[in-house]
Amino acid sequence: MEDCIFCLIIKGNIPAEILYEDERVLAFKDVNAQAPEHFLVIPKEHISNANDATDEALMGRLSITAANIAKEHKFSENGYRLVMNCNSDGGQTVSHIHLHCLAGRQMTWPPG
């Protein structure tokens, strides 16, 4: 999608601090971090939101990628939160499915 900020990051038109990349997913640090460790994992294919997701393997790959990065960056043992927002009432602000991984502090519940 031409005007999608995440698609522009995938194409390299917008810089990002890349943590991981393969043929199907990209992970990068969130520029508006809400925790000491905060990154996003996105599919390279433009999928607007969780309601439009149909590829179970891809959805699992997002979670596994986040877990692997958490292990690599040594915060998996203390814990982290994975969040996927869907549409405006769910808090989604970019219409390209993305998984947030937040860590480095105690998470509270309920989240908001």
Q: Strand pairing partners for 7?
A: none
Task: Return d(Cα 67, Cα 92) in angstroms, integer.
Answer: 22
How wide is the angle at C-alpha 103 spanned by C-alphas 66 and 15, nearest 5°? 60
| 89: its two tokens | 């009432």
Any catalytic annotation for residue 96?
no
Looking at 38, 46, 96, 98, which residue is catalytic? 98
Q: For the chain, what's the residue count? A: 112
Residues marked as catalytic: 98
